[in-house]
Structure formats: structure tokens, C-alpha cells
Amino acid sequence: NGTHLIEVNRVDSIEKVVSTFTSVLGVAVEPKAVECLKLNLEANQFMEADEVDLAIDRYDRALAVGYEDQRGILLNLRSAAHLERAYGHRIVLDGLGQTALELSADYPARVIRRSLTSLALTLRVTGSMVEGSMP
């Protein structure tokens, strides 16, 4: 059908690829495609460096370029980055929860006792009715 597919692997510079396509192969490359791929490469590098927030920013910028041929890939990569960030938050929260438990194993019981004492001071129970009162 006259369509040719050229696959390029291990890309470390979009400029090298564009140069190869334009000067060696005589193939025109859309400016939107170049910008989108640059941002995608930056995002992937940030993911490898565990800089997830920066990666998400670059995926967002790449999507904003509006190069539709990469939209699906970028959405998948960005959602993977969001999942990675959520997992990182979970690890932090689990650690904080464990630390809180270790610092005060009876913390919930103390909070409940303090709340009930406070409630008892502000409410007076008479028969089956509860009336508000000043401590």
C-alpha cells in the first residue's frame, strides 16, 4: 500500500531522530510531533528518576501540544504516573500510621475517654432526656 514503518529505539535525543528523518531519509516531521515527543521523553526520564510530579507535568504539557497520534499513549503514561504517585502517598501514610500506633498504642481509647468526659461535663442526663448545661 506504499506505507512504510520506521522504528527507532533507544532514543536519547529527539533532535537526532528529526535530523535523521529530514536529512538522511528526506521525510518531513511535524513540529507538533517533535514538541510532543520531546516532552514525552522528558517525562519518561523523570519517571526513571522517581520525579513523578515532574513527569506528570511533562505528560500534561505533551497532551496540551495537541498531537493526536500520541494522545492515547500519553494518557496511558500519565495515568501510570498518577498511580505511581498514589502508591508513594500510600507508603508514606502507612508509615505515618505505623509510627502513630507505635507512639501510642492506646491512643484511640484515650481519645474516646477524653471525648466522653468532655461530653459528660457539658450534658446532664435526667431520666430519658438529655439537656444542655454549662460546665
**Is pLDDT at 48 greater than 90 in this prediction?**
yes
Helix (H) or strand (E) holding 39: helix 31-48
For 52-81, the pLDDT digits (tens) are 999 999 999 999 999 999 999 999 999 999
Instruction: Decide which of 73 and 124 is more confident.
Output: 73
Distance CA 46, CA 42 (A): 6
Cβ density class 91-127: b for 16+ within 10 Å, e for less: eeeeeeeeeeeeeeeeeeeeeeeeeeeeeeeeeeeee
CA distances, 44 to each of 69, 70, 84 (Å): 18, 14, 13
Quick check: 92 and 72 in contact, CB under 8 A? no
Tell me the pTM: 0.61
